[in-house]
Chains A and B, each alone.
Chain A
């Protein structure tokens, strides 16, 4: 779950990380009012995407009128596919230096990792490309959290101004606490800003929460409701269906993440464009298939559906019965190809013969069939 900058900064503030004074607003009048209180300020569009500044979605306002004007210009606009309906109005600060600081999960060391650079304020992936030595890291022993000496060493290797060193260690240590306490998968401060008066603050904030840990973070669920989501993905989520929307026109379902991913590959390879990823899980009962299929069909672009099932512990004939019953109960208008393999797959495919469903044993053939049928061939 991705948080907005203003939400992430709320968590930072709770954890004692210094942030600029600011306020989230949703209309131009409130922006003007916030500006009147804060003085010279920055108007920042809230979106789950980077590069706002370059695109004109972060602007410096010298007066409440300007803030109001910029707010009106940003609200209702779309930035990288995200509708802007929230703004963060923050006090303007005087910048001396911009650093980068982040914590994420490192697969290789199987632990959290601190990543730091003195080249902050720009896209860190560009820095990684152009000057990889400017990015340094430190894995964290989860039994203890980062030690101060490790953080001092990190700052030195990153060539952080020694005058900011003490504050850097304090912020990095607190960021790790916030990361762990909120079960984050990413906590990023870019830029970590040194002001002309020497104070170090988190000028921007990016925060992703591990979805697997949301069960123990009721306090974060409020943030979730506010997060923008594709409406079909949102509905799937409510119903407990693993669904990802994709730009194509062929609906894909299968019983397991691996097999669905494999099916997407197959359809793409054969020249089709998948409309979604949808995992119906093990078992594939009539009820589950119906639930998943109705979600897949919510997408108006879908011109055909490919269901790829492996009969494992659940036998192919049982799955076929479930799929058939589900399709009958839904009054489906688009063609559906069912590909089946594994235990009692032949029996399963036989059950589907003579129905509106097209049975197919070979996965490549199944992909070709649904692509052709979706084209109306």
Chain B
């Protein structure tokens, strides 16, 4: 089964004619993801790679193409609008890959989606997307490193996630669903919500959670895990060597005002019964030993 994306996904790619959008649309198609539409305003009526119909708006992609999930590759100045356009058109899951979205735009888009009362979920922005191996790739994660299995992966990072997935595959295990929630200060879906979904997913037997410095999402996740999460869970915190006040690449990865320190996150994880490792290899080893 996996979560969020799978065989039922009917995907519309917003920004399908752009450089990133077209390259990843091709790779997603190659993986077998059911892409039913692309959207580029002004390019309606054309086809992408001779097969995917392109529409001028997401509303048309929903009405005529039956899209239920959207992935966004449009440039940062237009990403906030693209998210809301998808939500307004009735898309149930919006995954925004775009990096560099102004935080107030993200806040407004999230506010719009929240007001819909639970009919739409946003993942990202600034995320690598979601991958359910063997079913659907909705994102930019390299397909060939994935094998289907029982490990749920959640992460704020992209490349670090690929590294973990690669280790999982090499260790002879596989992934149920890998979710990159995004590295920005304001994101649509946080760790806890993904954990809730993984808790209810039959395919997922254990979870690897990759957190990083900045914010308090790890601490919030730890509280949830302690109270509700029954499956074995392994944690890792990235950015442990980062000096306070310096932003480490991800807009959200910054220790400020004494908040978001790695020590607090590791302590919270450990108090919640999460097995915390110092390296990714160690984390994967421990997950494997569990059988």
Contacts and interface: CB of A to CB of B under 8 A. Distances in A.
Interface in B198-218: 210, 212, 215-217
Contacts of A210: 102-104
13 contacts: A125-B257, A128-B258, A142-B111, A246-B246, A257-B157, A258-B157, A260-B248, A261-B250, A262-B280, A266-B279, A311-B142, A313-B27, A341-B163
Contacts of B239: 261, 264-265
Given A259-B159, A312-B145, A107 B216 contact: yes
B108 A343 contact: no
Given A105-B185, A107-B252, A256-B157, A213 B240 contact: no
Among all A-B residue pairs, the 8 with the closest Cβ atoms? A258-B157, A257-B249, A256-B159, A258-B160, A312-B142, A268-B241, A213-B102, A259-B159
A264 B242 CA distance: 8
A143 interface: yes
A258 B76 CA distance: 20
B142 A261 contact: no
B241 A264 contact: yes
Interface residues of B, number: 62
A256 B257 contact: no
Interface of B: 27, 76-77, 100-108, 110-112, 114-115, 140-142, 144-145, 155-163, 166, 183, 185-187, 210, 212, 215-217, 220, 238-243, 246-253, 257-258, 278-281
Nearest to A344: B144
B142 A343 contact: yes
A304 to B, nearest CB: 17
A364 interface: yes
A266 B238 CA distance: 10
Give the interface size bracket for A toward B.
35 or more
Contacts of B142: 311-313, 342-343
Contact of A312 (B101, B110, B159, B241): B159
A277 B107 contact: no
Nearest to B163: A310
Interface stretch (A14-22, A55-63, A108-116, A194-202): A108-116
Nearest to B237: A265
